[in-house]
Amino acid sequence: MSEFTYLYRGGRDTPQSPEQRQKQLQKWAAWFKELGTSGHLKELGHPLESAGMVVKGNQKIVTDGPYAEAKDLVGGFSLIEAKDLAHAVELSKGCPVLEVGGSVEVRPVMQINM
């Protein structure tokens, strides 16, 4: 088993009715539950605020950021365990963020033998 992070992007700017949001939430809960029961969920992870600061370069210039479009903003991440990248990708296809125009970025956590 290897570790992967799922980075959730976008999917928050679509206007939704209360009922649709509630259904979204229920889908997330069901998806995590399934990942949990099948032993693929290592950590729920955390949501991220969309506003923050970016510190850049030698001069340590501080700006408001990130400047990404809403659809490109990372809204949160989780830690997953899967056989390999293909498997992790397969598992990510159930993520409800995909239904509202968002995306999941699947990134292997580097395996390092020290």
Partner 1 sequence: MHVMQPGDHLFRRESGRMVAALTRIFGVHNLALAEDVVQDAFCRALEIWRIRGMPENPSAWLMATAKNGALDVLRRERTARSFAPELSRFLQSEWTLAPVVEELFAADAIKDDLLRMMFSCCQPRLSEQAQVALALHILCGFSVDEIASAFVTTHAATEKRLARAKKALVGSKRLFDVTMPADFSARLPAVHRALYLLFNEGYHGASAETAVRVELCREAMRLNALLLGHPLGTTPTTYALAALMCLDAARLAARVDASGNLISLLDQDRSQWDQELIAEGLKFLELSATGSELTQYHLEAAIASIHACARRTEDTDWKAIVSLYDRLMTIRPSPIVALNRAIAIAQSEGPQRGLEEMCSIADRDRLAAYPFYSAALGELELRRGRHEAAGEHFRAALALARNPMERRFLNRRVNACERGDTQKVHDEQFWDRGLFSTETKLEAQDRNRASLPL
Q: Which of 101, 98, 84 is closest to 28 using CA atoms?
A: 98
Of 75, 79, 94, 108, the one binding partner 1 by CB under 8 A: 75
Sequence-distant (6+) residues with CB within 8 A of 87 are: none
Of 78, 82, 88, 92, the one binding partner 1 by CB under 8 A: 78
In the window 93-112, what residues touch partner 1 (CB under 8 A)? 96-97
Question: Is 67 in contact with 99 (CB distance < 8 Å)?
Answer: no
Of 3, 4, 39, 45, the one binding partner 1 by CB under 8 A: 45
Count other C-beta atoms under 10 Å from residue 108's C-beta: 14
Phi then psi dihedrals of residue 39, to 5 deg? 75, 20
Tell how far CA 38 is from the center of its chain: 19
Contact segment (CB under 8 A) with partner 1 among 7-15, 55-63, 84-92, 105-113 equals 7-15
> Is residue 63 a contact residue for partner 1 (CB under 8 A)?
no
> Is residue 15 a contact residue for partner 1 (CB under 8 A)?
yes
Query: What residues line the site for partner 1 (CB under 8 A)?
Result: 8, 12, 15-22, 24-26, 28-29, 32-33, 36, 41, 44-47, 75-76, 78, 96-97
